Structure 1
């Protein structure tokens, strides 16, 4: 467990001083010493917890989400001078809604306010769980993934259309000039 040096206020100062073009800090360029793990967790439903209590302030959750970095199968909050490990139950983001398309690309929003276009840089993948349930994920940024909320996924299924690929039939969405599969259609 990390000593008492973890300070949300100090993190906020680092974020403000180091924000990039899109308002996101350049965490990919920061490689400070690992300071230890903190008792912070992102639950499967997207809720953030600190020391077992939900973080209720959306602005604070947004701030933390901008300095999130994944290395291998571990997640960290990173500043130029500090790197602390946190726990993520599934993926860090939940894709909560669909916005109007932009330049023929479908556009989505995460639970922390990131806008994501469905395209080659931000692909959609749908796997099937052991229980047979679809598990739809969208690449959000810098290797970080978001899981589509169940209601949004069902809404997309209603909007989807059949398409053929490699001799198989799929149900999919057209975005960025290509189809993205939501799943294979039964024969």
Structure 2
């Protein structure tokens, strides 16, 4: 399978300029399933192939760019191949957060381990989701297409520090504002 991974990487590099800011048109590709690859994206966004972490950042970034989620399963897709992989929580992992002001609004800028940059807004919401094996809901942000990123614990606590207490008729909660939208982070 390691040869398969190297071949897939080489084919992708030959067909794509990875320095380009645009993502491949994976939504247009619909090859038949090639099989299951012994690859897992762990909770912290590390890509593990056949038990070893992929250390080449260019390879990880390229694979992340061809990742799709279909009916609950994750796949690496090219125009001619489709490989099922496993994802523990979310396929992307947020490693940096910054508060900015844009158009008169507070803007929360998030950066993933694979270089995706997103401003939290209506199209890129932060949400708290429950996962099996986790005692508490986990903070995720929608990055692109239907792919989410898990916020690192330290960054989540930093964002909680930026949050404000709010309430409705039934409860009190922490809320963060970004681009004029409010996102609930949890109960007070």
Length-normalised TM-score, structure 2: 0.87
CA distance, structure 1, for counterparts of residue 2 and residue 57 of structure 2: 24
Structure 1's 3 and 152: CA in aligned 2 closer, same or farther, altered over 3 A?
closer
- Aligned position for 2:14: 13
SS for the counterpart of 1:32 is coil
- Aligned position for 2:128: 126
CA RMSD of aligned residues (A): 2.4
Q: Among residues 138, 141, 144, which one is paired with 1:141 in the alignment?
A: 144
1:174 pairs with 2:177: yes
1:89 shift after superposition:
1.4
CA distance, structure 2, for counterparts of residue 110 and residue 166 of structure 1: 36
1:150 shift after superposition:
0.3
1:126 shift after superposition:
1.1
> Across the two proteins, how many residue pairs are aligned to each other?
183
Length-normalised TM-score, structure 1: 0.87
Structure 1's 3 and 12: CA in aligned 2 closer, same or farther, altered over 3 A?
closer
1:99 shift after superposition:
2.6
> Where do 1:81-92 residues align within 5 Å?
81-92=80-91
1:169 shift after superposition:
2.1
> Could you tell me whether the CA contact under 8 Å between 1:2 and 1:35 is conserved in 2?
no
Structure 1's 102 and 33: CA in aligned 2 closer, same or farther, altered over 3 A?
farther
- CA distances 1:55-87 after superposition (whole Å, capped 9, x unpaired): 011111011100000101111111112111111
Which 5+ residue runs of structure 2 have no aligned equivalent? none
> Where do 1:44-123 residues align within 5 Å?
44-101=43-100, 103=102, 104=105, 105-123=107-125
1:107 shift after superposition:
0.8
CA distance, structure 2, for counterparts of residue 10 and residue 59 of structure 1: 14
> Could you tell me whether the CA contact under 8 Å between 2:130 and 2:138 is conserved in 1?
yes
1:159 pairs with 2:162: yes
CA distance, structure 1, for counterparts of residue 97 and residue 174 of structure 2: 18
